[in-house]
Structure 1
Amino acid sequence: MNPLRSIAAKLSLLTCLFVLGVIALMARQIVNGIENGLIGEMTVRAEFFARSSREAIFPKLDPFSLHFHVEEMVKEKAVTYAGVVDKDGVVLSHSDPTRIGDRLEDPFSLRAAASKRVELQRYRDKDGGLVYDLSAPVFVGPRRVGTARLGFNERSLKEALEAPKKRIILIAGIATLFSVLGTVLIVGWITRALPKLAAAAREAGRGNFTVQVEVKSRDEIGTLARAFNEMTVANSLLFRGLQEEKEKLANIFNDTREGLVLTDPQGRILLMNPSARALLGRQDRPATTLAEATAPDYQPKPALEAILSGGARITPFELKRAEPQLLILSGVADRLGDETIHAGFLLIFHDATLEKRGEALSRNFLSIVSHKLRTPLAIALGNLELLRGDEKNFNPDQRKMLSKIQGEDEKLARLVEKLITFTAV
């Protein structure tokens, strides 16, 4: 569905609901006014009935005259019943002859007998119809001689409300129609720039940050469009800067002589520079994980699982391959991120085969010097000490020769010790 049509539909619905709500509130006020007016008219009739009945009650009860007044009131279409009771609540005359002589002791009758003004109650008859029951006091001067009772059915109220209801329905229909048309026109006028803005946003989403929206309005939509244009310009500059930085990083990443491998926290390879592919022999065999890149030729130390699961920031490691020729790769695994976010690993390594061989040769040379030179010199010096113990048996020339030999052996021993110390360092 077109988003603009959806907006128009929603605003039209809200407008209709608002208009209908206002009309319903006004209709309620009108109905209440009409109902109150009818109740006022009923009150006037009840008071008139009370005054006309007074002459038939005082000074002497005239049943025929009283019954005449009751029958005259019942002839009106809206009147359901009419009756007159004395001051003690006994029915003197009623449109239903069977009620004559009854004593009315219900709460409303008792309240009406004690009231000095017209009282009203509403109730449902046995057929479910609404009945308005009014009671008007009958006074002769200050003396109360009885109460006039009138019952009005709801037919009169319905008839009175029929014409206003039709007018209200007609007004509601016309107002709803005009509100919908007006809302659609207003929404179309307000949102006329939104299709351009939506198309430009889609272009920007595809990476085209040169797109601009031409809007001349000064309203909120125009402000939004100008903000969008400013955003695309800023994003274009930012994207250009990021592209340049990306190219620089790519050049550094690809041109460095050390092997570089970038992985996610699970060891899946994200980037591998040419040096790393050459060192691992993966120029023609791409790998997706560290385990795949090193297996089965290389023996990692420590194990890859220990590197990936370890919490150390920097973890030294070594990859050793024995066949077809010895190759030793040495480097470190840098854990990216911080204590809360683990972004992955950057492995930096180089060919350390010559270094390891040099270390092995140094250890072998140290062993040779230690065992092949220092041991014989120690034996020779020991024997010289034994000979020096018998110097009294030698002539002066022989003793001089022994001292010279011992001095040279000690020089050679010191030289061997220095050589061993230097090689060990």
Structure 2
Amino acid sequence: MKKIVSKFSFGYLIVVTLLTSLIVYISYSTIRSHYIDDLTKDLEVYSKLIESELIQYDVIQDRYEINRIIKDFSFKSNVRITIIDLTGVVLYDSDELPSAMENHKNRPEILELSKSQIGHSIRYSKTVQEDMLYVARVIKVDGKQYFLRTSFFVHKMNKLLHEVRTEIIEISIFVYLISILGLILFIKNISNPIKQLSEASKKVAEGDFDVKVKIKSNDELGDLSKNFNNMTKRLKKLFYKVNSQKEQLDTLISEIQEGLVVLDSKGRIKLYNDSFSELLGKNNLIGKKLTSLIDSTYLKNLLEEVVSNDKSITKEIQVGDRQFLCSTSWIKMKDEVIILLHDISELNKLELIKKDFVINVSHELRTPLTAIKGFSETLIDEIENPEQKRYVEIISRHTNRLIRIVNDLLHLSELEQTKANLVLEKIKVSDILENVYSLFLQKSIEKGIELIVSIENNERILEIDNFRIEQLLVNLIDNAFKYTDKGKIKIISKEINNQQVFIIEDTGLGIPKDDLNRIFERFYTVDKSRSRRVGGTGLGLSIVKHIVLLHKGKIEIESELNKGTKFIISIPFTQSVIQ
């Protein structure tokens, strides 16, 4: 605040000083110039008066009378009078002896008469040895021309001008002092409100939003104080709102059961919740590198992947003997990574127990189901009673369905094993699709559905698990036949981005959008009654998904109700590097 006042005061004083000095200079110069002009006119008037007095005399013969006239006039008017002939010889002078004076032909005021009627100059007089104001005219006396020169002592003029200048300076000093007094009052009126605003802004910066500025004026400062008070009121509301949201967020984060951690661009911890601290069994984690706290190659690879791909990724990672579902997201604007760790160790154990139970039950059911199937088929051949035979056929049909479910469960359990291996072999795409086509040709004829095979590159050789890929295609095509009553089914082979792409497209019932995210779940069926009727187990698509994942591929689905469904499977040409 002091700096602003000092700068303003200093600048103001410089401007006022310069303006005052300029006013004094201009005023004095103007008055002096005006005074000299007036004095010159007066001297011209005196010259004409003297001429009117001399006109009746002879300049050569009436020397006494002329001397008397000019001396008397000089005494009364305080003006020096000189009469000069055309050759420059001084004939008469009111203050000096003419004989002692030099020739005046080359004097500036005399020379000027050759160009104008009046000649004037301000110069130093060698005769009286003082500065004088001269005015010269050509006069006619007794039919002859002479130079009549009137002059005035400059020191007398300067004395008067000095008095005027003194008065101007005094007035200017008075105005200058008034200006300084006005400056003091102005600074006081300005600095006090600004000082209040400055102190108030400091308090606001320190978090005190209850401060008020009381400036009672109708000018801009008054408006500024009102706006400042409104601003602090608004800031107070916003601060409490943000603070409340922050408290809610902190509470929410601390209540999350999963471990939450936020990393900066260098992988250092910026924020974490209590669950994450408990998960590691450590506190004071801010600023520490996550990779130094959790020694996991899976986690390092995941962090690199989420930053390089610029997208959210969710994967299971192994940390010691525990397994976590790790969800990572990269906030590009802040260059931060958010990680959510959910401990699924117990869930995996339960899942393993469930899988073991399913496998054991499936193995236990296999033998009695096989026996039931064998005896039911024997009974069908031997029973002649139509009604009894129908009952046995129902038993046989449901037994076959149970056997398919058991086989699919065993197959799915095998695929879900972490150590499940692929039996790789090199085979042409065309050979795979020919085998699959021959399996469904008869069914397509029976249902009246057109089965189309399209192969982009007949010579493409894949390194894959042939049995599993055929099973994948069989399951998808079988599903297409189950849910397509008319139209066509396409089996398409393409090569996109150095990957083999299989497309199974039908013109069947389609799948509702709400069901698309769940169709790969075990035992999930869109139309349960139709599934039971056509012998579906609800496991086919789960098996397909696991086969695709084993080949490090991906599966996508596009579907529209009553128009059909399209499955798109992409897998690498070779699995050697992957394995």
- Scaled to the shorter chain, the TM-score interval is 0.5 to 0.7
Q: Counterpart of 1:331?
A: 327
Task: Name the CA distance, whole Å, in 2 between partners of 1:267 and 1:153.
Answer: 97
Cα deviation for residue 264 of structure 1 reads: 4.5
Residue 239 to residue 285, structure 1, CA distance change in 2 (3 Å):
closer
How far, CA to CA, are the matches of 1:227 and 1:332 in structure 2? 45
- Give the TM-score normalised by the residue count of structure 1: 0.61
| Distance (whole Å) between structure 1 residues aligned to residue 77 and residue 267 of structure 2 | 95
Deviation at 1:246, TM superposition (A): 1.3
CA distance in 1, matches of 2:24, 2:144: 42
8 Å CA contact 1:83, 1:91 repeated in 2: no
Change (3 A) 1:133 1:301: same
Point out which structure has higher relative CO (alpha carbons under 8 A, 6+ apart).
1
Matches within 5 A, 1:238-277: 238-265=238-265, 267-277=267-277
Aligned residue for 2:27, secondary structure, equals helix
* Structure 2 Cα separation of the partners of residues 42 and 422 of structure 1: 119
Offset of residue 145 of structure 1: 1.8
- 1:362 matched to 2:416? The reply is yes
What is the distance in 1 between the residues matched to 2:112 and 2:281? 106
**Offset at residue 120 of structure 1 (A):** 3.3
Per-residue deviation at 1:154? 4.1
CA drift at 1:271: 2.0
Q: Which residue of 1 aligns with 2:285?
A: 286
Pick which of 204-213 and 239-248 moved more: 204-213
Distance 2:471 2:47 in 1: 148
* 1:29 paired residue among 27, 30, 46: 27
Q: 1:33 to 1:319 in 2, by over 3 A?
A: farther
1:372-383 aligned at under 5 Å gives the runs none
The root-mean-square deviation of aligned C-alpha atoms, in Å, is 5.3
Paired with 1:253 and 1:116, the residues of 2 have a C-alpha distance of 106
Distance (whole Å) between structure 1 residues aligned to residue 414 and residue 125 of structure 2:
117
> Does the aligned pair in 1 maintain the 2:196–2:213 contact within 8 Å?
yes
Q: 1:104 aligns with which of 96, 101, 106?
A: 106
Q: Relative to 1, partners in 2 of residues 1:214 and 1:71: Cα closer, same or farther, differing over 3 Å? A: closer
Asked whether the 8 Å contact 1:20–1:172 carries over to 2, the reply is: no
Change (3 A) 1:74 1:283: farther
Range moving further from structure 2, 192-201 or 202-211:
192-201
Quick check: 2:125–2:132 contact (8 Å CA) kept in 1?
no
Preserved contact between residue 131 and residue 151 of structure 1 (Cα < 8 Å): no
Deviation at 1:159, TM superposition (A): 0.7
Task: Output the TM-score relative to the length of structure 2.
Answer: 0.48
Alpha-carbon contact 2:193-2:221 (below 8 Å) kept: yes
| Structure 2 CA distance for partners of 1:423 and 1:162, relative to 1, 3 Å | closer
Judged with a 3 Å threshold, the aligned counterparts in structure 2 of structure 1 residues 61 and 203 are, in CA distance, closer, same or farther, namely same
Question: Residue type matched to 1:114 in 2?
Answer: K
Change (3 A) 1:167 1:110: closer
Summarize the alignment of residues 191-206 of structure 1 with structure 2, pairs less than 5 Å apart: 196-206=196-206
Structure 1: unaligned runs, 5 residues or longer: 338-342, 372-412
CA distance in 2 between counterparts of 1:12 and 1:86 reads: 63
Contact 2:28 2:168 in 1 (8 A): no
Secondary structure of the 1:208 match is coil
Secondary structure at 1:252 match in 2: helix
Q: Tell me which residue corresponds to 2:337.
A: 346
**CA, structure 1 residues 43+264, in 2 after alignment: closer, same or farther (shift >3 Å)?**
farther
Match of 2:547 in 1: 424
Q: Provide the secondary structure at the position in 1 that maps to 2:210.
A: coil
Deviation at 1:102, TM superposition (A): 6.0
For 2:113, the aligned partner's letter is: A
1:292-338 per-residue CA deviation (whole Å, 9 max, x = no partner) reads 22127233544967876x5x53264879677x54666743341332x
Q: Cα distance, 1:175 vs. partner?
A: 3.6
Q: Which residue in 1 is equivalent to 2:296?
A: 298
CA contact (8 A) 2:105 2:111 kept: no
Distance 1:103 1:257, change over 3 A: same
| Corresponding pairs, count | 363
Whether the aligned pair in 1 keeps the contact of 2:55 and 2:141 (CA below 8 Å) is no
CA contact (8 A) 1:335 1:344 kept: yes
SS of residue in 2 equivalent to 1:165:
helix
- Following superposition, the deviation at residue 205 of structure 1 comes to 2.1
Tell me the distance in 2 between the aligned counterparts of 1:208 and 1:350: 40
State whether residues 321 and 327 of structure 1, in contact with CA within 8 Å, keep that contact through their aligned partners in structure 2. yes
Measured after TM superposition, the shift of residue 245 of structure 1 is 1.4
Answer whether contact 1:138 1:145 (CA < 8 A) is retained.
Answer: yes
Q: Which amino acid aligns with 2:232?
A: T
Q: Structure 1 residues 206 and 191 mapped into 2: Cα distance closer, same or farther (>3 Å)?
A: same
Distance across 1 between alignment mates of 2:17 and 2:471: 111
Counterpart Cα distance in 2 of 1:153 and 1:135: 12
TM-fit CA distance, 1:240 = 1.4
For the structure 1 residues 169 and 423, does the alpha-carbon distance in structure 2 shift closer, same or farther, using more than 3 Å as the test?
Answer: closer
Q: 1:103/1:170 Cα in 2 relative to 1: closer, same or farther (>3 Å)? A: closer
